[in-house]
Amino acid sequence: MLLYEALIAPFTEFEFMRRALAGIVALSLGGAPIGVFLMLRRMSLVGDAMAHAILPGAAIGFLLSGLNLFAMSFGGLIAGFTVAILAGVVSRVTELKEDASLAAFYLVSLAVGVTIVSMKGTNIDLLHVLFGNILAMDDQTLLVIAFNTSLTLIVMAVIYRPLVIECVDPLYLRTVSRAGAPAHLAFLALVVINLVNGFHALGTLLAVGLMILPAGIAKFWARDITGMMLVAVGSAMLSGYAGLVLSFQTRVPSGPAIILVAAILYIASLLFGRAGGVVRKLFPGRHLEA
């Protein structure tokens, strides 16, 4: 009975908890596979930079329309795509590498976005933009997240083969096919779309958390890409569910609670994961084999 009251009752009794859980499921299905490919392509920090890059656009949407879902979403998408394109252009016409140009743009974007929100909004508005509030998600926001997740899964199914091949042997892909560049651009678009998804639920500072941490967890439990994606989705959902329960039972904010649970899972995987965990490497005996 105590377990029911702690783990299930919050979702059966409160609609906002059910809505938040549905949002977590959608974010996990769309964002976790994207995170796996970011990790495999050594673009994890690019995802973090892009998460901050959407802030000025969302802030301008906020400045014009307040906390309006579509204005902030559209502004975030435009800002994310603009920064991605500018970083690529700068890296090609100068000697600056793409990661360095992204870092510069993301710092400028973060400062501009915080300044814009601070000029019109209150401290509460700023906290909402930076850290989100998944418990305050309404039906409209949930539908937008669900639509973006569906679009992500469809596009991922189309570009899956060139993405996988590029992770393994990009030179081979350029030799046998011209699909590499379109697939890369489509993948960057999916990154931005899922960061906007995460922005509405977890804020700009934590939006990338349910993409990168589950991918890191999956790396310690599976060696093939399909297995990594399944583990990443499962761990993202588990982190979201446990984080919501933790937030409901304590005074920890929902967004940080979700990311903290994911961080605990990551540390446990780092230590005990069957595919490269610390304990596995220190004691590679037969008793640890599957």
pLDDT digits (tens, 9 = 90+) for 162-173: 888 888 777 777
Is 286 inside any structural domain? no
Is 280 inside any structural domain? no
**pLDDT exceeds 80 at position 287:** no
Q: What are 71-99's pLDDT values in tens digits?
A: 888 888 888 888 777 776 776 677 666 66
Report yes or no: 36 and 215 within 8 Å, Cβ to Cβ.
Answer: yes
Which CATH number belongs to the domain containing residue 88 in this structure?
A: 1.10.3470.10
Report yes or no: 53 and 83 within 8 Å, Cβ to Cβ.
Answer: yes
Q: How many Cβ atoms are within 10 Å of 2's Cβ, its own excluded?
A: 6
Is 68 inside any structural domain? yes
Q: Count of domains in the chain?
A: 1
- What is the pLDDT, as a whole number, of residue 96? 67
Residue type at position 62: F
- What is the pLDDT, as a whole number, of residue 125? 65
pLDDT over 70 for what percent of the chain? 92
Is 115 inside any structural domain? yes
- What is the pLDDT, as a whole number, of residue 121? 64
pLDDT band at 122 (very low <50, low <70, confident <90, very high): low
Is 88 inside any structural domain? yes
Is 120 inside any structural domain? yes
Of 86, 236, 228, the C-alpha closest to 163 is 228
For the segment 175-192, the average pLDDT, to the nearest whole number, is 83
Is 283 inside any structural domain? no
- What is the pLDDT, as a whole number, of residue 203? 80
For the segment 220-249, the average pLDDT, to the nearest whole number, is 94
- What is the pLDDT, as a whole number, of residue 252? 87
State the Cα–Cα distance between residues 30 and 41, nearest whole angstrom: 17
Range of the domain at 234: 1-274
For the segment 121-133, the average pLDDT, to the nearest whole number, is 70
pLDDT band at 115 (very low <50, low <70, confident <90, very high): confident
Of 182, 247, 264, the C-alpha closest to 6 is 247
- What is the pLDDT, as a whole number, of residue 123? 65
For the segment 101-111, the average pLDDT, to the nearest whole number, is 76
State the Cα–Cα distance between residues 248 and 269, nearest whole angstrom: 26
